[in-house]
A and B are shown apart, each in its own frame.
Chain A
Amino acid sequence: MASDSAAETLALREQFDTEAQQKDASTLGMWIFLITEVMFFGGLFLAYTVYRRWYPAEFAIASSSLNAVIGAANTVILLCSSFTMVMAVRAAQLGKRDALIWFLILTLILGAAFLGVKAYEWNEKFQEHHVPGPTFHLENAVRQGPAQIYFSLYFAMTGLHALHMVVGVCLLTFLIIEARRNRFSAAYMTPVDIIGLYWHFVDIIWIFLFPLLYLIDRHLGK
C-alpha cells in the first residue's frame, strides 16, 4: 500500500470495508449506548415519580430548600458548554485544528466549573444536615422520612449525573491530547463526533433534573 494512504489505514480498522461504514457503526454504537443511559437514569426517574406523587408536600418543601439561583446558573454554564462542544465538532468537520482545541478547552473549563458549583452545593447540604442519614433534619417538614427520600433521590440523581460529567471531562481531555497530536482531520473526526453526542446527552439529563429537583412549587405567584 502506498505511503500516502498510511493515515487512512491507521484510522480504518480491519473489520470495516469503508470509512463511511466505520463512522456509521461508531455513531450507531454511541446512540445505543445513550439509550442504555436513558434506561439507567430511567429507574431513578421512576422512583422520583412514585415518591413525588406519594409525598407532594414534603417534596415541595425539600425542593424549596435548594438554591434555585445557583441551580439556574449551573444550567446556563452547562448550556454554554453544549454550545462550545457544537463549535468544536464544527471546527473538526472543517479541519480547523486550533479552533477545535480551543473549543474543547472551553468546554472542559465550563464542565469543570459546573462540577465546582455542584461540589459547593453538596457541601452546603452537609452543613445544613440535608444529607440522608442519622443526623438528617429538614426544617418545616412534618414527616422527616419522605423529606429524606427526596434528598436521597437528589443525591443519587445529581451524583450519577456528576459522575457522567467527570467521565465527560476525562473524555474531553483525551480529545484535546489527540487533537494536539493531529489525529483528527476533516476526513476522520469520529471520536469528536461521538464524544460530542455523549456530552450533549449528559446536558439533557441535567435539563430534566433541574426543574424536577429545584423548581417544584416555584411557579409564578408563589
Chain B
Amino acid sequence: MITAAEQEREHYLNESYGIKSWLLTKDHKRIALLYLATVTLFFFIGGAFATMIRIELLTPQGGLVSSETYNKLFTMHGITMIFFFLIPSIPATLGNFFLPMMIGARDLAFPRVNLLSWYLLVIGGLFALFAMLAGGVDTGWTFYTPYSTTYSNTWVIATAIGIFIAGFSSILTGLNFIVTVHRMRAPGMTWFRLPLFVWSNYATALIQVLGTPVLAVTIVLVFCERFFHIGIFDPALGGDPVLFQHLFWFYSHPAVYIMVLPAMGVISELVSVFSRKTVFGYKFVAFSSMAIAVLGFLVWGHHLFVSTQSVYAGLVFSFLSYFVAIPSAIKVFNWTATLYKGSISYATPMLYTFGFIGLFTIGGLTGLFVASLGIDVHVTDTYFVIAHFHYIMVGGTIMAYLGGLHYWWPKMTGRMYPELWARLSALVIFLGFNLTFFPQFILGYLGMPRRYHTYSSEFQVLHVLSTAGASVLAVGYLMPMIYFIWSLRYGKLAPANPWGASGLEWKTPSPPPLHNFDETPIVTQEAYDYRGVIGEEVEVG
C-alpha cells in the first residue's frame, strides 16, 4: 500500500527544481535521465535515416534520392545509431541509474566526471548533427581510408571530431564504473553477490577503457592525413590504408560487445526475476561476460578476410571468432536453464527477454557463418551481414534495452507503464523486426550487396517485405515513446518492489531518495535469492 503522504516524500526528482538543478546535477540518477533523453533523440534521428533508406529501397531503380544522398543516408544512420545511441544506451542510462544502486552505493565514484561524460556526448553529438545539417558525410560509418582521407568531399572531419569527443564520454563512463565496482560496494556485497547486470557492465567498462582510446588515436591520424597529408594511410607515400582497418576494427569489433554485453546483463536480471529463480550457473554467466570482453579484442581480423590480410592470419582470426561463440552460448543455455521449472510470468519485460533470446540466437549463429572464411567471401558486404548484425544490435541490444526500460521504469519514475499497451508493443516490435530483417538474410545470400540503392528487380519482393516490416517496427518503437510519456502523469503509482525482485535497487522507495538509500544497506544474501520476497501490489493513481 502506498499512502498519499509517502508519495509526497522527498525523492531525487522533487528535491530541487529548475533547469540548473538538472544541467549541473551530480546525481547519477538525474544524469541517467539526461542520457535517456539524449540517446532517445539520437535513436529517432537514426531511425529517420533508416526510414528514408527503406523507402528508397522499395523500388529497384531507386528514384527517391540520388546515389550521393543515399551514401550519406546509410552513413549517418550508422554513425548516429552506433556512436550516439547503441554505445551509450544501456550503460549510460540503465547502468548509470542502477549500477550504484545495485551495489548499495550512494553514487558513482566520480559524480562530476559522470556529468562531464554526458556533456561530452552532447558536444560530440552536436558536432555530428552539425555535419549532418551542413551537408552530411558519405564514407560509411567505417571511415575507410583512402576514401575518407583523400577523396570524400563531405563533412568527414566534423563528424570524426564528434565521434572523438563522444568516445571520451564512453571512456569516462567506463572508468567511473570500474572504480565504482571496485571501491563502492556496500558491506557484504562481495564480487560473487553482484547482480549479473553489474558484472556485464564491468566487462563492458573494461572494453570501453581499453578499446576506445585506440579509436581516438585512429581518428587523430585520419584528421592529420586529411589536413596535412602525412602519408600514414596513403599508398602514394608508402603508407598502408589497411593499417587503418586494423586500428579501426581493433576498437570497433570490441565495440559490438560494448553494445551487447550490457544487454546480456539486463536479460540475466529479467530472466531471473520473471521466473523467480536464481540464475542457473551464476559464476559461468559472470565469467562468460569477462571471457567475451577478453576474446572480443582478439577477433578484429575477421573484418579483413577480403582486405589483403594473410590467409594464415585469417585462419587464426576465424578460429578465435568461433571461440567467442562459447561464452555467448553459455549465456543462452544458462538463461534457458533458468526458465526450466521456473514460475514464469509473462509481464512485458519478460516478453522482450524472450524476443532477445530468440533473436540473439539467430544473430549469433549467423555470426558463425560470417566467421568462417569460405562463406564470408560469398556474403562479405552483402545484406547477409546487414541482417546478421541487426539481429544482434536491434534484435539483441534494443530488445534488452526496452525490456530493461519497462522493468526499471517504475523505479525511475515512480509510475507504472500501461501493461496491455506495453505487451502489444513488444509483440509489434518482434513481428516488425523479423519482417524487416529476415528477408535481408535471403537477399544477402542471393547476392544483394550492401550500400547500393539500385538493384536487380528480382530482389524487389524481399525489399518490399523488408520495408513493410520497417513500417511495423516504426509503429512498435513509437508506442513505448507515447505511453511512457503518458505514464509519467497518468500511470499507476509504483510501489517500492512491484515485481517481487530481490536486488538492492528494489529495497528503497520508488522513486529513490537523493542518496538512494536512507541508510547504507548491509548485504547478507546471494544475488537472486527470492525467499521471502513478495511483489507489492500496484495502486491506482
Contact = CB atoms under 8 A, between A and B. Distances in A.
A42 to B, nearest CB: 7
B178 A39 contact: no
B209 A15 contact: no
Contact of A146 (B209, B217, B238, B520): B238
B221 interface: yes
Contacts of A35: 209-210
B402 to A, nearest CB: 30
A133 interface: yes
A36 B171 contact: yes
A122 to B, nearest CB: 14
A218 B63 CA distance: 64
Interface in A21-52: 21, 24-25, 28-29, 32-33, 35-37, 39-44, 46-47, 50-51
Nearest to A43: B217
B105 A156 contact: no
A40 B213 contact: yes
B175 interface: yes
Nearest to B205: A32
Interface stretch (A1-9, A81-89, A147-155): A147-155
Interface string B174-197: 011011001110000000000000
Contact of B211 (A39, A46, A51, A143): A39
A120 interface: no
A174 to B, nearest CB: 15
Nearest to A41: B217
Contact of B243 (A32, A47, A132, A146): A47
Interface centre among A13, A40, A143, A152 (most CB of B within 10 A): A152
A126 interface: no
Given A149-B230, A152-B230, 16 more contacts: A14-B107, A15-B108, A15-B184, A29-B113, A32-B179, A35-B210, A39-B214, A42-B214, A42-B217, A43-B247, A44-B221, A46-B246, A55-B238, A132-B229, A152-B224, A156-B221
A25 B183 contact: yes
A148 B236 CA distance: 11
11 contacts: A15-B109, A25-B183, A29-B179, A32-B209, A36-B209, A36-B212, A132-B229, A144-B237, A145-B231, A145-B237, A149-B238
B117 to A, nearest CB: 13
Contacts, number: 117
B498 to A, nearest CB: 27
B106 A50 contact: no
A155 B229 CA distance: 13
A25 B109 contact: yes
B232 interface: yes
**Interface band, chain B:** 35 or more
A50 B469 CA distance: 47
A21 B176 CA distance: 14
A79 B441 CA distance: 59
Contacts of B214: 39-40, 42-43
B105 A15 contact: yes
B261 interface: no
Contacts of B213: 36-37, 39-40, 42-43
Closest 4 CB pairs of A and B: A152-B230, A145-B237, A43-B217, A40-B213
B320 interface: no
Contacts of B113: 29
B195 to A, nearest CB: 19
A156 B219 CA distance: 12
A41 B213 CA distance: 8
A50 B243 contact: yes
Pick from A33, A39, A40 the residue with the most CB of B within 10 Å: A39
A41 B105 CA distance: 34
B231 A152 contact: yes
A167 to B, nearest CB: 14
B239 interface: yes
Contact of A36 (B106, B175, B184): B175
Nearest to B183: A25
A100 to B, nearest CB: 25
B109 A148 contact: no
Given A47-B232, A149-B238, A156 B179 contact: no
A143 B232 CA distance: 15
B183 A24 contact: yes
Contacts of A146: 237-238
Given A24-B183, A32-B209, A14 B230 contact: no
A68 B162 CA distance: 39
B110 interface: yes
B238 A15 contact: no
Contact of A156 (B216, B220, B240, B520): B220
A160 B213 CA distance: 13
A28 B238 contact: no
Given A15-B184, A149-B232, A47 B221 contact: yes
Interface in A42-96: 42-44, 46-47, 50-51, 54-55
Contacts of A54: 238
B218 interface: yes
Interface string B77-118: 000000000000000000000000000011111110100000
Contact of A14 (B106, B182, B240): B106
Contacts of B178: 28, 32
B228 interface: yes
A66 B385 CA distance: 48
Contacts of A50: 240, 243
Interface in A142-189: 143-146, 148-149, 152-153, 155-156, 160
A15 B106 contact: yes
B515 interface: yes
Most B CB within 10 A of own CB, among A13, A16, A43, A143: A43
Contacts of B175: 29, 32-33, 36
A44 B217 CA distance: 7
Contacts of A41: 217
Nearest to B211: A39
Interface string B226-267: 001111100011111001001100000000000000000000
A50 to B, nearest CB: 6
A28 B182 contact: yes
Nearest to A134: B229
A148 B230 CA distance: 7
Contacts of A14: 106-107, 515
A20 B210 CA distance: 27
A14 B100 CA distance: 14
Nearest to A15: B107
A79 B182 CA distance: 33
B111 to A, nearest CB: 6
A25 B229 contact: no
